[in-house]
Structure 1
Amino acid sequence: MSTTYDALIVGAGHNSLTTAAYLAKSGMKVCVLEKNDIIGGGAVSREVTAPGFLHDTHATGMILIMANPMIKNDELELQSKFGLEFDSPEGTYVSLYDDETWMGTFVSLDKTCETIAKFSQKDAETYRAFVNRTIQMGPLFTAGLFKPPLPFGPFMAMLDQSPMGQEVVGSMLKSATQMITEMFEHEKVRMHFIKWVAEGMVHPDERGTGIYLYALTAIAHTQEETSVRGGTQALSDALGRCIEHHGGEIRTDTWVKRVITSGGKTTGVELADGAVLEARKCVVANIHPHLLGDYVDGLDEDMVAEARRCELSSFGAINTHWALHEAPSYKCPEVNKSLLVECVPSNMAGLKAGLDDCRGGKLASNFNAVIAHHTNHDPSRAPVGKHTLYLYCFAPLELRNTGPLGGRNVNGWSSEIRDEYKEWMMQEYSKYCTNMNSDNIIASAAESPADMAEWSPSFQKGDIFGIGNWIHQYLGRRPTPRLAQYAVPGADGLYLAGPFMHPGGAITGGGRATAMKILDDAGADISKTMMI
């Protein structure tokens, strides 16, 4: 194996894999270095329950990435050449209340409004008018997602020049709870949207979260929610094939100890075994802001301290996986074929109590699950006739006041607490179904926030969004104003990629923007690699 490359990529999460694929396509000699035995970071699928059952252990639903030109225009030929396929189930996202009523968000605005009207005709009309405005704003949200962000100040000034932009600015100053309560009259309609916003892992009571209702609705009614055929891992594997097709190299089970700089220029990396790899042009690193000073020497102390102060999300999640004989069958059969089902208490007090518990460091006292049933539309994920279940609930990043703990304890989490809560989650979930009993369960597994942090340093304390989607860590302030343009000041040739960078957590293909910045800094003709 070579020891000198044009670009070294530290970490093989889907963001950095995306960057590596674009750089390899542009003609750079690229090498990707990953500590785990598989590539993907949060975009992985593993057999964690029983042989033949393939589970998405982190990300599972795909919507933002579908608007990214890398997928929408197949810039990297992932679909046309490297085998990437998506499934679009009949149903997308529904809230199932514990009294067996439900409402849903679908690409079809008409169908969505029909489900809202079951509870309130007025709310359905309000929502239709709101979405007709947000769809007009859609390009405002999507155009800037997949390129380096504008500095926050000029972006806000630009918005403030039009009534529509001023409305968006206003949403940035409000909480989602405040906006939703003002817009809708029926409690269950409010709960549907509050729970949806909460999936961004910032408590919807927090100021600034109002903007997410605009972005979510603008995208949800113009872009299908999908899943990756064969599991989310297939996305990462397609990116890997693209990198190798263009001459790139991928090394797994390879730990990077530090990034090497000399005279303010990045020259390579040192591996855990002491080996040194050289980078002629750049190093792209999945280095969480909290760890920047640990991996790179000689950086400005104030910049490093500012990065360490980046705020994590309000809460994380405990994710459980189940190998089943039969697919779950709901007491409310209308939701059986939906891609994602949100189990929600039938009153606002129960929903808010669960969110408040998690923000306060407690296990949620109310069931607040997100469920995916991929084998309903993708039988390749399980042995013939069998099924998988993806079941997660919000959970605190740091678990407090747990009393005596057995076994390994990280941030309050132990395997005993995790597994006990997993069983409680299934007990609660079974109340929504007719067949989720012990006879239907073959095997199960769970990951706590502590487990997620161990899997990826990008998930500090288990924050799957890298850092919180707070308004002060948004656009040209993510993760900090000095680091928001991906290049690290004081370490020429070092660039950052990961969920803690713009456009944020979830599966976005955000590494496209990092690649755009690198190619632009190099004076390359970006139009030869991507559509701009």
Structure 2
Amino acid sequence: MEETLDGVIIGSGHNSLACAVHLAAQGWKVGVFERASVAGGAVKTGEYTLPGYSHDWAAMNLSLFAGSAFFKEYGEELGRSGLEFAPASDCFSSVFPDGSWLGVSNDLETTAKRIDAIDADDGKTWRELTAAFPAMAEPLVGLLGSPAKKRAFAYILYKHWRKSGMDGVLDLGRFLMSSPRDWLNETFRSPKVRALLGAWGMHLDFAPDISGGALFPYLEGMANQAFGMVLGKGGAGAAINAMVSTLEARGGSVTLNADVTRILVENGEAKGIELADGRKVMARNAVIANVAPGALLKLAGETGDQRYNDRLKTFSHAPGTMMIHLAVDALPDWSAGEELKDFAYVHLAPEVDQMARTYAQAQAGLLPDEPVIVCGQPTVIDPSRAPDGKHVLWLQVRMVPAVINGDAAGQIEETDWEVVADKYAERVLDILERYAPGTRSKILGRHVVTPLMLEADNPNLVGGDQICGSHHLTQHFMFRPVRGFADGSTPVGNLFHTGAAVWPGAGTGAGPGYLLAQKLAG
């Protein structure tokens, strides 16, 4: 028996759900179909170690979601559907081998005085950057939040020209093309300040020397300084649960354990989808696929546009990620200072050169000798995620290869992730132990997630790439995923593409889904 809807969406990530909510609000009858047993894709929360300990599977930080245009429009409804935020004023920090630390808190003078103690000139620079941030944020946020159209980008640059002149436009362009190292070296004197901010590039795939990467350390540093960080109360999955409830309240639906095997295309136009059990769901207005670019061709077949087909086939993915979820008896005892227990993130990435080496090793298929580690301490901000007095740690290991060719440290001989996982997790814990002795003795439960496990759980995370595709300049802005199709359109009529592989890319801001919904239904 066939079912007919106005819009059919493949995949239940936050972009899919943002798209579905807006379409439903505009009167569409929308159905979301998800192959997994839980909605959310990379944004979900579960008890992966022990009962009562809630861990964020991949994404933890919901600041972009809380500040998004989608949330601005639907935040009230999401709140009625149960979404609550847990704000963090002590946002992120880095620890260093000499026993010191540096961190960004929401209070300007608190942060600036920490930097003053390292380098007074850098403290002055931090205050100046913070003061200038509102003016700088206007064109940057405008670009990142606008449809990927020449006219939209030109209008934003025109407005910036009216305010800042041609020199301002050229300076903005130069900044957007700069690598993290370029900008950090030009802006700060202290290697510690550079490392503190440079670590944010590694959350995407912007190693220190990748052009176009300066934007992200800058935005994360300034936004956390200005607004703090936001987590979801109970876990990042709280946002997904609220979106599903909001969609259902508006007449939409989410069907789980529904594996889509084919997009039905007739005469160059998408008509619906076929599920693994043989069911067909037809679409009056749009079939929307939140899938990795390579998967779109497998579902829909060749599109008739060879340039588009070729580009999807060669779409480049970032190196993989490893996750380690820990249930712990107590927070790490950081050697650098008790204050570190207050921070949402502690970066174990002490040098810009180390970050560059880690990235190069992972790209070469080597297990990095000293991976970049993001230690999330969510229960500091949201105690509801663990039993009283207990905690969870969220360890994100960046970067690691999906296919292992060897070990940069020369210690692990095996190349099969099933064998390597626990051995490499021990290397990560050795590094954590170096900065917080005794952490191993606090572990009550552990769950290691390899890059291949991330992909098996969510095929969009190809090779464990948590951002569904490199954001390097050749694959960003109007080139994401293909020039001429960065607005979610495809060469096939009524078939649309969304998710992190589509402009404006990865993150929890739901931009690709929300922009597409506005394009389709106003």
Question: Whole-Å Cα distance in 2 between the matches of residues 290 and 428 of structure 1?
Answer: 36
* 1:380 counterpart residue number: 384
* 2:461 counterpart residue number: 459
CA contact (8 A) 1:306 1:480 kept: yes
Change (3 A) 1:367 1:310: closer
Which residue, out of 370, 386, 393, partners 1:389?
Answer: 393
Deviates most, 200-209 or 18-27:
200-209
Offset at 1:183?
1.8
Question: Whole-Å Cα distance in 2 between the matches of residues 292 and 74 of structure 1?
Answer: 29
* 2:411 counterpart residue number: none
Deviation readout 1:244-271 (Å, 9 max, x if unpaired)? 1011111101100111111222110011
Change (3 A) 1:53 1:213: closer
Question: Whole-Å Cα distance in 2 between the matches of residues 416 and 14 of structure 1?
Answer: 33
* 2:68 counterpart residue number: 68
- TM-score, length-normalised on structure 2? 0.92
Offset at 1:508?
1.0
Deviation readout 1:114-169 (Å, 9 max, x if unpaired)? 22112100112123223333331212222343442233984796467633322110
* 1:229 counterpart residue number: 233
Matched, 1:414 2:413: no
The number of equivalent residue pairs is: 508
Question: Whole-Å Cα distance in 1 between the matches of residues 482 and 131 of structure 2?
Answer: 33
Offset at 1:348?
4.6
* 2:343 counterpart residue number: 338
Letter in 1 for 2:227: Q
CA contact (8 A) 1:60 1:232 kept: yes
Offset at 1:338?
0.7
Secondary structure in structure 2 of the residue aligned to 1:31: strand
Consecutive aligned runs of 4 or more in structure 1 exceeding 6 Å deviation? none
Offset at 1:39?
0.1
Deviates most, 54-63 or 66-75:
66-75
Offset at 1:4?
1.2
Letter in 2 for 1:77: E
Q: How does 1:76-475 map to 2 (within 5 A)?
A: 77-79=77-79, 81-151=80-150, 154=154, 158=158, 162-299=166-303, 300-313=305-318, 315-331=319-335, 332-345=337-350, 347-402=351-406, 413-438=416-441, 440-475=442-477
Deviates most, 379-388 or 213-222:
213-222
Change (3 A) 1:361 1:96: same
Deviates most, 390-399 or 498-507:
390-399
Letter in 2 for 1:498: G
Deviates most, 275-284 or 363-372:
363-372
Matched, 1:29 2:29: yes
CA contact (8 A) 1:291 1:308 kept: no
Identity %: 25
Change (3 A) 1:26 1:147: farther
Change (3 A) 1:375 1:130: closer
More helix by share: 2
Secondary structure in structure 2 of the residue aligned to 1:226: strand
CA contact (8 A) 2:207 2:355 kept: no
Question: Whole-Å Cα distance in 1 between the matches of residues 96 and 84 of structure 2?
Answer: 32
Change (3 A) 1:219 1:375: closer
* 1:500 counterpart residue number: 501
Which residue, out of 478, 484, 487, partners 2:489?
Answer: 487
Question: Whole-Å Cα distance in 1 between the matches of residues 510 and 183 of structure 2?
Answer: 30
Offset at 1:316?
2.8
CA contact (8 A) 2:490 2:496 kept: yes
Change (3 A) 1:264 1:399: closer
CA contact (8 A) 2:89 2:228 kept: no
Question: Whole-Å Cα distance in 2 between the matches of residues 142 and 154 of structure 1?
Answer: 14
Secondary structure in structure 2 of the residue aligned to 1:32: strand
Deviation readout 1:84-122 (Å, 9 max, x if unpaired)? 011112310111113221111233333222221121001
Change (3 A) 1:155 1:203: farther
Change (3 A) 1:434 1:210: closer
Deviation readout 1:367-413 (Å, 9 max, x if unpaired)? 4211111222322212333211111221333343238xxxxx9xx55
Secondary structure in structure 2 of the residue aligned to 1:145: helix
Change (3 A) 1:111 1:388: same
Secondary structure in structure 2 of the residue aligned to 1:88: strand
Change (3 A) 1:484 1:340: same
Letter in 1 for 2:506: G
Letter in 2 for 1:340: Y
Tell me the C-alpha RMSD between the 2 structures.
2.2
Letter in 2 for 1:256: V
Secondary structure in structure 2 of the residue aligned to 1:336: helix
Change (3 A) 1:485 1:17: same
Name stretches of at least 5 consecutive residues in structure 2 with no aligned partner: 408-413
CA contact (8 A) 1:21 1:76 kept: no
* 1:523 counterpart residue number: none
Question: Whole-Å Cα distance in 2 between the matches of residues 189 and 123 of structure 1?
Answer: 8
Question: Whole-Å Cα distance in 1 between the matches of residues 508 and 71 of structure 2?
Answer: 12
Question: Whole-Å Cα distance in 1 between the matches of residues 465 and 87 of structure 2?
Answer: 28
Letter in 1 for 2:61: G
Question: Whole-Å Cα distance in 1 between the matches of residues 265 and 355 of structure 2?
Answer: 49
Question: Whole-Å Cα distance in 1 between the matches of residues 177 and 144 of structure 2?
Answer: 21
Deviates most, 393-402 or 504-513:
393-402
Deviation readout 1:316-345 (Å, 9 max, x if unpaired)? 321100111222232211111111111233
* 1:43 counterpart residue number: 43
CA contact (8 A) 2:289 2:296 kept: no
CA contact (8 A) 1:138 1:219 kept: no
Offset at 1:498?
0.7
CA contact (8 A) 1:137 1:218 kept: no
Matched, 1:16 2:16: yes
CA contact (8 A) 1:18 1:509 kept: yes
Question: Whole-Å Cα distance in 2 between the matches of residues 286 and 237 of structure 1?
Answer: 18
Question: Whole-Å Cα distance in 2 between the matches of residues 304 and 517 of structure 1?
Answer: 23
CA contact (8 A) 1:48 1:445 kept: yes
Offset at 1:48?
1.2
* 1:517 counterpart residue number: 519
Question: Whole-Å Cα distance in 2 between the matches of residues 462 and 29 of structure 1?
Answer: 34
Change (3 A) 1:132 1:477: farther
Secondary structure in structure 1 of the residue aligned to 2:16: helix
Offset at 1:2?
6.9
Letter in 1 for 2:223: I
